[in-house]
Structure 1
């Protein structure tokens, strides 16, 4: 993990109170200013002629990559995995969302139908389009290369799964531009390295125990192969989670290079998981939370996939930066000058929930979104971010009085105490107390009519 400005400052002349402190030779007024810029990579180490060997060593160590960043898939739909720098989300946001892939057999009689269904699956949640990220194509008949080409033509990131090196080479000759990830099963590590070097594609290295995985990864590193994904398979669930945690800790905290790569997990390669897809999805959700960078599912169920996509979205948001939308006046449906006006904050989940309920009511309406730093209604109100003043400011900023004929604003029932405050700031307007919860908006609108 990178050093902070304060950590760097302690090793500079200013931090050590030496005579060279704040000499300005680096171009900055103080050692603290230089340290802060250095931490942000906005200046270079050589600007200070008094840098100690100890600080140089610390900066070199801090600059080492903890987990490699690997990319695969076509340029226009590329998947990026890895490059994680922390063990826990509250320390700093996780970087690249877990890649969710669906396994298809090349011999599947409904291959094209399933491919089209998976490729076309997309749902919107809080302003983000959620979809399956890749197809993991298993070599199960002579059409492997042909089916790989079809996946590549669909512009879907591809994972090639085979135990036959020649079949993989043939498939790669058809899909090299799509830059697939190659997973060779029961193949000597030297052959896997050859594929990585010959075709310049990422490859996966897996084993059924941690020691073998470390040995295989170390051999790849000795051969200058670093475009790697690693994984464990044929392991019971409790052992798998324990070992995945060990892998992430070894990479992040100890910077142990053989384990410093993204991790791939195959649901159908985990022992003792029941065959039903509910249990498989439960364990897949555990792997989203516990350090798998790629999860390959051997089934496609839209409802269960949605639950995994929702979980992933929540895990990979920045906990210090709430999802928020632009503050403005949103027309919902075929509005006119008589349409009601609802008011709420710019927390994305609040916005999409309210929009959904207004649409369900069948009555077109305006939704006035105030600036509230992405906080929910009660949080913003308690933080003095959702007030009569901010609502009045939004009404004026978005020229509401020239858009509608009436002079009524509907506010959430939980902040009914804002009524007098709003009407004081907007004396020509009436404040209507709406429902507490968005789910009651349709019934409220029937009463409002």
Structure 2
């Protein structure tokens, strides 16, 4: 288990009340401050010249991932799973996002069409391109290897499911070794056997199990790996939705289970088929879960032109929280009215959060407008602010006496209609 800041502090001069306590040579004001930064990776143990060999060893052991990292797929498009070090996201962060894969049977009459659909599926969200990560190919006829080659041609990572699979074939397609069992106890025995044989890239698979037993078993496996450092269970886990007892083929039901599995410890989830709406929901959830809770998704402050704006274009101002920016930008683009979006430095906070933390105020907005010389981009002096911070209107106009502040919408979804009214009221 990873050492906490308080546990580390006990081994430092400050914790042991030695003369070197709080010497500041590490770059931090106190031993406690240094200790609290170490588990977060914001400092290194070598920064303290008084650290003991005992602490170095303990820190090194606790920093090792308790869950093996497994990489599979082509070098140009690899998938990494595992390498987790904590049970709960708020303890630090989760590392490798859950791999979302689609099942294909080699005997499927619609194999080519389904593969094409998988290959072409792509969505954009908060500046990131989200795709299906892998194909789980099942051996259901003599064309299994031929179909695997076809998937590999598209540089799509493969999970090969066949009773006749051998190490040479797995290596050829750089596919993981799936170790299956219907209980945790059976998985332990089979995993240990694989370890004894020197097999690498192991992925654990619980089959023929009910949803409630699946979640409890996944939790047990993760706890055994992270807390108990139990080697036979220290590997990523794959879940095939078709294996789950009582789960229907209803996409909504599969989507609900998929969302639970993203949060509760399945490193790879294989869906029976590609439902684009369900996949988008799962990708969105995964993107939210696999971010650093201490570092919100954010974009660089600056001026962002949308659809080639000219000197008459509306000027919006908002925070640098990525979801806020992309929501506003998407609606502005949909309006077909070219505009400028001015992004303030607000530590990745949303509008109301930034305002309540005094990261979005009249002074900051005015400074941003001046720094990026917005008055040179447009000939008008009208600034649109989010409706949620209408209270800042007078403050901004005091800081920018030549500008008129216009209260915009509370929600991005209303921007299209707002811009229609703006265009009708002001000449664009």
TM-score, normalization by structure 2: 0.90
TM-score, normalization by structure 1: 0.86
Deviations 1:79-138 (A, max 9, x none): 110011111112221111000110111122222221121011110011111111001111
Separation of aligned partners in 2, 1:267 and 1:316: 22
**Aligned residue-pair number:** 419
Unaligned residue ranges in structure 2 (runs of 5+) = 424-428
How far is the alpha carbon of 1:395 from its aligned partner?
1.0
Separation of aligned partners in 1, 2:132 and 2:126: 17
1:304 matches 2:278: yes
1:94 matches 2:94: yes
Q: Which residue of 2 aligns with 1:287?
A: 261
Q: Which residue of 2 aligns with 1:81?
A: 81
Deviations 1:228-248 (A, max 9, x none): 111211011111111111111
Please give the residue correspondences for 1:216-365 in structure 2 after superposition, counting only pairs within 5 Å. Answer: 216-365=190-339
Q: Which residue of 1 aligns with 2:426?
A: none
Deviations 1:334-369 (A, max 9, x none): 311101111111111111111122122221111111
1:127 matches 2:127: yes
How far is the alpha carbon of 1:30 from its aligned partner?
10
Deviations 1:281-317 (A, max 9, x none): 2111111111000011111111111111111111111
Separation of aligned partners in 1, 2:367 and 2:28: 41
Contact preservation (8 Å) 1:332, 1:358: yes
Contact preservation (8 Å) 2:80, 2:96: yes
Contact preservation (8 Å) 1:233, 1:270: yes
Contact preservation (8 Å) 1:9, 1:32: yes
SS at 2:91's partner residue? coil
Distance 1:46 1:390, change over 3 A: closer
Unaligned residue ranges in structure 1 (runs of 5+) = 182-202
- The two structures, once aligned, show a CA RMSD in angstroms of 2.7
Separation of aligned partners in 2, 1:65 and 1:81: 12
Distance 1:443 1:60, change over 3 A: closer
Deviates more, 1:216-225 or 1:376-385: 216-225
Contact preservation (8 Å) 1:28, 1:34: no
Distance 1:111 1:318, change over 3 A: same
Separation of aligned partners in 2, 1:30 and 1:324: 29
Distance 1:180 1:307, change over 3 A: same
SS at 2:406's partner residue? strand
Separation of aligned partners in 2, 1:131 and 1:68: 24
How far is the alpha carbon of 1:432 from its aligned partner?
1.1
Separation of aligned partners in 2, 1:129 and 1:23: 46
Distance 1:298 1:23, change over 3 A: closer
